[in-house]
Structure 1
């Protein structure tokens, strides 16, 4: 089996359909979530919506590189998003998030394994493998925060 296929599967698990590592995923946590809960601030923490948008920001930016474009994302902009002001806004965002996440996984799946060891846009960023693996780890990190914030909000 191709390594890229296995890595794409791991990415899909955290965002779209898995339960192996965290017993949940973004889609499970965010689909059917009321926008008011998603945008409710708990203490000084980021909202669920901001965390989801943050992960989407990186997915979308890396997709651009996978499609042959440039790396245009910057950490300093990774929490700057338009406000979500309705259920419709929230559902529209989620639809784009799921579509871009599936595209991310598909683009990985289509890569030859050799691509994983190639430089990702600049040597300072390491290899494609390092960046894809970091995206998966980053997604799990914020998934844990989302789960905890949901629990805190439910107990308030």
Structure 2
């Protein structure tokens, strides 16, 4: 379980409490944002809310697989964010994201290392370790976007 724990630690860093790679994490970027900031459009870029939904969509689908369920997520639905029209809507999304982040970290930490070399659902997706590493990279990619959007939004609020 050493490799699995290492992957779980990297997920913990990017999603919940790390500062080593990006000097921030998703949770830190989403905290203290109001729903207007989260849904504010900057040009033709995705909103912070859309990016949060997108990451969460994949986390939820991967959790299902790690808990023995089928892979039901599809790329074409990964930005189908329901309307966010209040602070309560935004907080619901953030809370679900944080819960899924914690669950995903725990599920990965519990994987036997031998599972990491097994095919993920179907051989065409490669092994578990590749998919988990891809998730880490995917989260850092969107964390960078969220960080930049926050700075751009703060600049326009002045």
State if a TM-score over 0.5 links the two structures: yes
- The alpha carbon displacement at 1:30 in A equals 0.3
**For the residues of structure 2 that align with 1:96 and 1:149, how far apart are their CA atoms?**
21
CA shift digits 1:8-41 (9 cap, x unpaired): 0100100100000000001000011111000000
Unaligned runs of 5+ in 2: none
Question: Residues of 1 paired with 2:127 and 2:83: CA distance?
Answer: 34
Mapped partners of 1:101, 1:25: distance in 2: 12
Q: Secondary structure at the residue paired with 2:22?
A: coil
State the distance in 1 between where 2:108 and 2:25 align. Answer: 19
C-alpha distance in 1 between matches for 2:83 and 2:93: 11
Q: How far is 1:155 from its partner?
A: 1.1
CA RMSD, aligned part only?
A: 0.8
Pairs aligned (count): 156
Report how far residue 150 of structure 1 moved.
0.8
Runs of 4+ in 1 over 2 A off after TM superposition: none
Q: Does 1:64 align with 2:99?
A: no
1:15 corresponds to: 15
What is the Cα deviation at residue 146 of structure 1?
A: 0.6
Q: What is the CA–CA distance in structure 2 between the aligned matches of 1:2 and 1:30, rounded to whole Å?
A: 30
CA distance in 1, matches of 2:124, 2:98: 29
In structure 2, what is the equivalent of residue 126 of structure 1? 126
SS at match of 2:146: helix
Residue 96 of structure 1 deviates from its aligned partner by 1.0
Matched, 1:95 2:113: no
Deviations 1:61-108 (A, max 9, x none): 000000001000000111012011111111111111111111101011
1:39 aligns with 39
Structure 1 position 5 matched with structure 2 position 5: yes
Structure 1 residue aligned with 2:49: 49
TM-score between both structures, scaled by the size of structure 1: 0.98
Unaligned 5+ runs, structure 1: none
TM-score computed with the length of structure 2 as normaliser: 0.97
